[in-house]
Amino acid sequence: NAGVMQNPRHLVRRRGQEARLRCSPMKGHSHVYWYRQLPEEGLKFMVYLQKENIIDESGMPKERFSAEFPKEGPSILRIQQVVRGDSAAYFCASSQGQNQPQHFGDGTRLSIL
């Protein structure tokens, strides 16, 4: 099953550490999206990337958060100096192109101690 693969599934970090979340899109998909889901809430858009380009990062916090989708390898969502409020499930989705259905991975659950 070549679906969207996210790893790790669970990540525990202490306050001040860095968190790196990885996402491999479905085969043939070149558009990647990151969403965050806080407990008991819906998903909130963070960033939209194509290969080597950030298309829309309007949902990304201005500090500590960054994302990339290199020519080779998975997309990375990086959170520096994590705080308790970063605890959430982070979902990646991919699509074949613009205005195409987005297919989601099973998420990375980030817990900050």
Partner 1 sequence: TQLLEQSPQFLSIQEGENLTVYCNSSSVFSSLQWYRQEPGEGPVLLVTVVTGGEVKKLKRLTFQFGDARKDSSLHITAAQPGDTGLYLCAGENAGNMLTFGGGTRLMVKP
Q: Give the tokens for residue 80.
A: 């520096």
Looking up tokens 């994302």 gives 67
Taking the complex as a whole, the smallest distance from the CB of residue 57 to partner 1 amounts, in Å, to 10
From the number of C-beta atoms within 10 Å of its C-beta (0-12, 13-18, 19+), residue 68 rates as middle
Q: Give the tokens for residue 82.
A: 């994590």
Q: Give the tokens for residue 94.
A: 């991919």
Q: Which residue from 45, 68, 76, 87 is in contact with partner 1, where contact means CB under 8 A?
A: 45
* Bridge partners for 36 per DSSP: 44, 90
Binding range to partner 1, per CB under 8 A, among 13-21, 61-69, 73-81, 89-97: 89-97
Binding range to partner 1, per CB under 8 A, among 14-22, 29-37, 66-74, 80-88: 29-37
Q: Write out the residues near partner 1 by the rule CB under 8 A.
A: 4, 6, 31, 33, 35, 41-45, 48, 55-56, 58-59, 91, 93, 95, 98-99, 101-107
